[in-house]
Amino acid sequence: MNQKFAPLFEGFTLNGVELKNRIVMAPMTNFSSNPDGTVSDAEIEYYERRSGGPGMVITACTFATPNGKGFQGEFSAVSDDMIPSLKRLASAIKSKGAKAILQIFHGGRMCPPDLVSSDVVSASAVSSDQNPNIVPRELDDWEIEAIIRDFGQAVRRAIEAGYDGVEIHGANGYLIQQFFSPHSNRREDRWGGTLEKRMAFPLAIVDEVKRIVAEHAKQPFIVGYRFSPEEPETPGITMDDTLALLNTLADKELDYLHISLMEYDSMPRRSAVTDKTRLELVLDTVGSRAPVIGVGSILTPDDAIKAMETGVPLLAIGRELIMDPDWTEKVQSGRENEIRTVIEKDKQQELVIPDPLWQAIVNTPGWFPGV
């Protein structure tokens, strides 16, 4: 191995769970689960192919409550009869040497109506810019409480299924972020209005998840939280809003905070006037209170080292592990010149990419290099 890449392969501990290196497989939707919400054979093979190198694998999101399904072909964690399916995926990941983290979420107003019996819900009855013709139903107070409990029960199922941890998906415009956003949350009750009240739902989810872990986990169990730093909408989440949220989350004794970025070195869109990148601002705010996972357009080991130089201890790699499942092993064995950084259209079988994900890749120009 080229010694300049050695920092990528130092061990790291999250809440007593030992990771063999600093590489994390980022959570990526693959659209490939069975119609009944169970994990498919194709998904198992896809994850097994990619779980030998990274120290930790974060799964695609699983929905925690029936009206939270955000994608066709998304696997479910809504009931105890899904535990065998969840266990099958955890076992597949762990058998290859990576720690298995289950990402849990609710799609909110981003759910396609046909996946949730047309009951699209959110913090308020405000449509998204992406789906302007879909006006969600504002959740009642008792429904909010029920969704919080559902998140907790999904975590209990993850514990029983043998996962090493969970990631609360508070990013990418889904329900948890919708409650935090002034664009989607126009409430004037305990769940909205001021910045602090818009934090109430995300913080309640965190508290319930941690309560369930304390009650049910018999061994160290990781709890992470994923967030998006800003929104393009006006009004929308600003960098200053996010730093305030992170300042609060960092005091919740979470095991990591995971920033969702397309480019790890991107600058703030507005507010937080500074010459620092979003990632650097997050690191400054969180300090030593929680490890931060950085992500965004890391293709080569040089990209990874440059990202680590910001001070971020863990790196999530997404599209690159789809294009080259052996990325980590190639770097570790000194074969970084063999790394593929474009999708090769004749390599679907070799790359072990399920058909629904493959179709999404080849039919979405610009998503992957080479398409």
Residues carrying an active site annotation: 174
Query: Residues 233, 31, 165, CA angle at the centre, nearest 5°?
Result: 80
d(CA 275, CA 256): 25
Token pair 């002034």: residue: 182
Distances (CA, A) of 122 to 144, 159, 301: 10, 28, 40
Phi-psi category of residue 80: left, alpha or beta, with phi > 0 → left and psi -120 to 50 → alpha: alpha
Contact 294, 316 (CB under 8 A): yes
Q: Compute the distance between CA of residue 219 and CA of residue 196 in angstroms, rounded to an integer.
A: 33
Interatomic CA distance for residues 238 and 65, integer angstroms: 29
> How many residues belong to the chain?
371
Q: State how far the Cα of 103 lies from the Cα of 166, in Å rounded to an integer.
A: 6
To 10 degrees, what angle do helices 83-95 and 141-161 make? 50
- From residue 371, alpha-carbon distances to 32, 59, 366 in Å are 20, 24, 6
Cα–Cα distance measured from residue 303 to residue 112, given in angstroms and rounded to the nearest whole number: 36
CA distance 211 to 216: 9
